[in-house]
Amino acid sequence: MSILIFCSFEVGGQPFRYAETLNRLGVPVYYISLASGARGHDSTAFHFGAPCYTWDLSKECAARSTAGVIASLRRVTRKYGINSCFATGGQAYLLAEAGLSYKYWCYGSDLDQMCFSPQLPTLANVAKRSTWTSLALHLMDGWKYRKSITQAKAVMVAPYQRASLNTISPGAARFFLPHLLAAPTFNDVWKIKTESQTILRRQYHAETLFFSSARHYWSGSKARNSDNKGNNKVLEAFARHLASSGRQTDKLVLISKGPDVKASRDMALRLGIVDSVIWEHEVPRERLFFLYAGATLCFGQFGTPVLTYAALEPLATGTPCISHFLADEHSRDDFYEALPPIWNCRDTSDTAQIMTNLSAADDQEYKQICFESWRWVNKHCSELAFMKSFIGEFDHSLKSTLPNGIPP
């Protein structure tokens, strides 16, 4: 029997990456994307190109109609002996229509926004196109997301989402998979990091580089949404750091992606730091990890209190991170047994002080902080740790494929 990884929203190419990693490690899984023609930072094609693998069955489910997709899923299920499924995206309910049980990964806005009615337009925002777009999307597709989540055998959510999940699916079973991060040996990580820092500091004429990979989504009414990344907090903290430390050659690198890029640029201008902010175009993963490695410190997000890849990916490159996530005792159920060594704060004064302290740390102290960052990822989010968790959730019979040294 086989496992299927299914997505109708590609979430930065992560579902594809799960399939590629598991197959490379000897765990036979198949993959289907109903969004394989998508473009932009949320697509597999943007980050990984258009690789061709025998386990990618997306072309076998390329029917345009709902009935056609259901028929294709039934055919694929019989042909490849699929009996369990990891799914995400608003068309996951089609798996149930095809007779497949599945566990569902909530990636954020699918549960937070699409499953709940948006606020009706007010006099203040009635003229905004985004207001009507949000309402239209909910009316057209909201029911699909609710159905996809409520029909799942179990649901993976972030700790802050548990109340929302209970509202639409009381008593729903939950499951947990760690983030998937490939971290080589620390010696290799440190070598790459040293080389990346040398190149980027020379390129940007900077003594110290700070980096945020978060898309810009924070201004106006969007501050109330779960997509809020709190980019304004990063800009404010960086301005405070420059003012208090006197380190005028330090630079902040941002990615020009998201609807509030202009708002962030305007804010940098108001804060008087525009010459110290570097804008990179939207980048695929290879360049992204080069920027992570080359930074002295990275930022996650400071709006919604959630632990994301943007906060953990830097750790895989040995780079410390500041972010904001829920970490009280109630968040530990279905979560990591030990919290990551991330500075968990959103206060701009505290963030600025951390930036200044880290910039002034001696080489040995900084290397130890980097080592602790890497060590946590290597223990909790390695490819083998992910494989162990995935097998435990989806097919216990595959435990025999676990390499020596990985406990069953």
Q: Where are the alpha helices (DSSP H) in 4-43?
A: 14-24
Examine the pLDDT at 407 and tell me if it is beyond 90. no
In whole numbers, what is the pLDDT of the chain averaged over residues?
90
- pLDDT at position 119, please? 55
- Enter the tokens of residue 4: 């299927």
Residues 326-341: tens digit of each pLDDT: 876 555 666 888 899 9
Sign of the alpha-carbon torsion through 373, 374, 380, 383: positive
Q: pLDDT (tens digit, 9 = 90+) per residue, 42-80? A: 888 888 887 789 999 999 998 889 999 999 999 999 999
State pLDDT tens for residues 100-151: 999 999 998 898 888 886 654 555 555 555 554 555 665 678 899 999 999 9
User: Which pLDDT score is estimated for 37?
Assistant: 74
* Dihedral Cα 256, 258, 263, 264, nearest 10 deg: -40
- The 3-class secondary structure across 280-298, one letter per residue, is ECCCCHHHHHHHHHHCCEE
User: Where along the chain do its domains lie?
Assistant: 2-179+384-401, 186-380
CA distance 258 to 329: 33
Mean local confidence (pLDDT), 76-86: 95
Is the pLDDT reported for residue 399 higher than 70?
Answer: no
User: Per residue in 338-376, is it b (16+ CB within 10 Å) or e — as a string?
Assistant: eebbbbbbbebeebbbbbbebbeeeeeebbebbeebbeb
What's this model's pTM, rounded to 2 decimal places?
Answer: 0.88
Measured CA to CA, the distance from residue 349 to residue 121 in angstroms comes to 36
For the chain, state the CA radius of gyration. Answer: 22
| Size (the chain), residues | 408
Does the domain at residues 186-380 carry the CATH identifier 3.40.50.2000?
Answer: yes
The owner of tokens 């948006």 is 118
358-377 mean pLDDT:
96
pLDDT at res. 408: 39
Residue 223, SS3 per DSSP: helix
CATH topology of domain 2-179+384-401: Rossmann fold (3.40.50)
The pLDDT score that the predictor gives to residue 378 is: 94
Q: What would you measure as the largest C-alpha separation in the chain, in angstroms?
A: 66
Q: In what order do the strands lie in the sheet with 82-88?
A: 29-33, 2-7, 82-88, 103-105, 154-156
Q: Which residue reads 């999307």 in tokens? A: 137
